[in-house]
Amino acid sequence: MEKTQLNSFKGNPHSKMSIAGFLIALGIVYGDIGTSPLYVMHSLMVGNGGLEKMSTNFILGSVSLIFWTLTLVTTIKYVLIALRADNRGEGGIFALYTLVRKRAKWLIIPAMIGGATFLADGMMTPAVTVTAAIEGLKGIEINNTVLISTQNQVIIVTLVILSTLFFIQRFGTQMIGRAFGPIMLVWFAFLGLMGIMNLSSDWSMLRALNPYYAIELLRSPINIRGIFILGSIFLATTGAEALYSDMGHVGRPNIYTSWPFVKICLLLSYLGQAAWLLSVKDNHTLQQMGSAMNPFYQSIPSDFRLFGIFLSAMAAIIASQALISGSYTLVSEATKLRIFPRLKTYYPTNFKGQLYIPTVNSIIWVVCLFIVFYFKTSENMSNAYGLEITITMLMTTILLHQWLLMKRANRFFTTIIVSFFFIIESIFFVTNSSKFIHGAYITMFIAACLIAVMFIWRYGERLKDDNTYRSHFVSLLAFKHQLNDLRKDPSYPLYTTNLVYLTKIHDGYRIKKNILYSILDKRPKRAQVYWFVTVNVTDEPYTAAYSVETFDTDYMVSVQLYLGFRVDQKVNVYLRQVVNDMMSNGEIKPQPQKYTTIPDREVGDFSFVIIKEVLSPDTKISSLKKSVIHMRFFLQKFISPANWFGLSYSDVVEERVPLVLGKVSLNRLRLVRKDRSALKDIKIDGEIDDDDDE
């Protein structure tokens, strides 16, 4: 008998357009791209030789490149195209992969590369944004006192802020999160207002919207970096991928309504900084400041500068928080797609979707502190920032192409569009590649490590499944009578009321032989009900369903849990619901407890058995494959399977069994009599001891 129940989670409450959704979108989606004005114009100025090298055509061309990059990459590719490739409202490269993965097995490769590079490059976001914000305080008098006068003091304050930010993650950020939207609304309004104030002195700067100036700058000798200026221009759109990834938190309609406001404010800020640069490019005092002169802060009138610095610091913290939370979500999705090891996860608040992964938090924290120590200034950080995100964008473009083909869009038209974006992003990748020698090798190394972990985890499991020899599958139906006899046999003590094995059932009734070996041979385990539970991760993000098969018994149950890739895998909670449902339907007998703190308790105790495989010396596969499996087992030492399935506080037993892969030929022993004639050809330790033979 089989029964299925469905109980899918509802989508995000802010998936429909609303004022609340608009504010939440400002607070969650645009943190990264919204803090770009802190360092983009500064990077362009320093990269071209400083303020004294600024010219009208250079400034016009720079803003024109920024505008068309935001238009082509962020607006057209991500807002108008990518946001439509949602998985039940969820976005991001892993959500996109789940939509297209059935088209070809190789699509896992761009998904892994894109996810790893997105995580790696994002580790620099908190460091560069917070450092750039605090640098604005350097030399500023507060109550006739200069609190921060040196770069070392900037570094110390940055480290304190970052450490505090990472420390509070374990307590949850629900209350802080509620303030994100209003603060970012003020931030973007401030960007727009300051831009208008500076632009009012020279409205002719609006001609920068003409693409002629962008193309001309790439050809002009006044641009001493040539096409590599695009490395700095790209910083203006680094948050586009995060915009797509965070769609599930706010809903597509709210991004559609908020992005025009955000883009206008950003553009006004860049135009305002450009107009201000044009008006002061011959100012000797500012020229003497060199790279310490940041156009963003200097262009703010002195009466508003302190407020602007405080606001930019808040925006930087919000951008960092969004990156940290996004990293947890990305790792959680990769885990549930079985391309990343399962890490211990906490849910510090009742806020839907908020989670905390200590390992990820610690790694990002250490990397951020190292980046601040190593690069010291936001200028140095921006010179190494952006390379990996271009790779992520290229991988997203590859997956988007498959999605468009899956939607049966016009093949010729689709290829033209995808090729256009692929060429643009390839140019950005080439121009950003120069950042490798300026420090991007650090984040590239991190990305390479993440890709290696994903590869080992994914293909190590596949190698096990493809090469299994002795751990073959047997039919549960063949052992129905033995299990029934064991559960009724009083000569064996009751091991537990409900004995649960987390395993995979094939064809509805076939199971790995080592499961039955654990129950019957290794130590006969007497129980009232034997449960065989399989956790299936679905392509839909919020599925929560199960099916059961009892094999016409009341003591053998196969449970198939169907959980979305964004649903918590709390197996013990779900299993108790299944037991109660089955008791209500009379499919299994009540399990009243004589000794219990719960009145009228009808559900007995549970023991979970997890089989942990160890590679056997008898394994006969290639050295390369064996190395991959060894590395996968090495990674497993640092994680607990009990935490994978939410069993931290349950009764869990881990049993180790040998894993033999490849076809093994067994040597048979021959019986010999212990006399000299039989043993004359057998040497023990090199020779036969005559005294021992006598």
Residue 668 lies in a domain: no
Residue 45, pLDDT above cutoff 50 = yes
Final residue belonging to a domain, choices 461, 496, 525: 461
171 occurs within a structural domain: yes
Number of domains the chain contains: 2
Distances (CA, A) of 564 to 243, 569, 601: 22, 9, 31
Say if 138 falls within a structural domain: yes
- Residue 405's CB is within 10 A of a number of other CB atoms, namely 15
Say what the pLDDT of residue 470 is: 45
How long, in residues, is the chain? 694
For residues 34 and 150, state if they share a domain.
yes
Rounded mean pLDDT of the chain?
A: 83
- Is residue 287 located within the same domain as residue 333? yes
pLDDT score, position 260: 94
pLDDT tens digits along 81-114 = 999 888 877 788 888 998 898 888 899 999 999 9
Does the pLDDT at position 400 exceed 70?
yes
pLDDT of the residue at 680 = 59
| Range in 206-215, 339-348, 372-381, 544-553 the model is least confident about | 339-348
Q: Are 430 and 523 in the same domain?
A: no
Torsion of CA 197, 201, 207, 211, to 10 degrees: -60
Confidence (pLDDT) at 650: 74
Residue 664 near residue 469, CB atoms below 8 Å: yes
Do 445 and 504 fall into the same domain? no
Q: How far is the C-alpha of 683 from the C-alpha of 686, rounded, in Å?
A: 5
pLDDT of residue 262: 94
- Same domain (yes/no): 98, 202: yes
The pLDDT tens digits for 595-637 are 877 777 788 888 888 887 777 776 777 778 778 887 887 887 7
Q: What percent of the chain has pLDDT over 90?
A: 30
Mean pLDDT score, 449-475: 77
Identify whether 680 is part of a domain: no
Q: Are residues 489 and 413 in the same domain?
A: no
Please check whether residue 12 lies inside any domain of the structure. Answer: no
Residues 164 and 203 in one domain: yes
- CATH number for the domain harbouring residue 121: 1.20.1740.10
- Whether 510 and 475 have beta carbons less than 8 Å apart is answered as yes
Listed as own residue / partner, the contacts of 362-369 with beta carbons closer than 8 Å and 24 or more positions apart are 362/166, 364/123, 364/126, 364/166, 364/324, 364/327, 365/162, 365/163, 365/166, 367/123, 367/446, 368/123, 368/124, 368/126, 368/127, 368/162, 368/166, 369/159, 369/162, 369/163
Question: Do 29 and 73 belong together in one domain?
Answer: yes
Largest CA distance in the chain: 113
Where does the pLDDT of residue 691 fall: very low under 50, low under 70, confident under 90, or very high at 90 and above?
very low
**68 plus 216 within the same structural domain:** yes
Q: Which has more confidence, 299 or 656?
A: 299
Is pLDDT of 353 > 70? no
Question: What confidence score (pLDDT) does residue 694 get?
Answer: 40
* pLDDT for the residue 11: 46
pLDDT at 396: 93
For residues 27-49, give the mean pLDDT: 88
Nearest-angstrom CA–CA distance, 154 and 291: 15
Q: Tens digits of per-residue pLDDT, 205-219?
A: 999 999 999 999 999
408: left (phi over 0), alpha (psi -120 to 50) or beta: left
What pTM does this model have? 0.80
pLDDT of residue 522 exceeding 80, the answer is: no
CA–CA distance, 477 with 489 (Å, rounded to integer): 20
Structure tokens at 448: 């390479």
Residues 64 and 90 grouped into a single domain: yes
What band does 678 get if pLDDT is binned at 50, 70 and 90?
Answer: low
Q: Is residue 504 part of a domain?
A: yes
Among residues 96, 83, 85, the alpha carbon closest in space to that of 253 is found at: 83
> How are beta strands 544-549 and 556-564 bridged, if at all?
antiparallel
Strand ranges (DSSP E) for 375-477?
A: 473-475
Please indicate, yes or no, whether residues 390 and 489 belong to a single structural domain of this protein: no
Distance CA 498, CA 602 (A): 12
- Give residue 447's pLDDT: 92
Q: Containing domain of residue 425, as a range?
A: 19-461
Query: Nearest-5° angle of CA 208, CA 211, CA 214?
Result: 75
One domain, residues 38 and 107: yes
Please state, in angstroms and rounded to a whole number, the distance separating the CA atoms of residues 582 and 579: 5
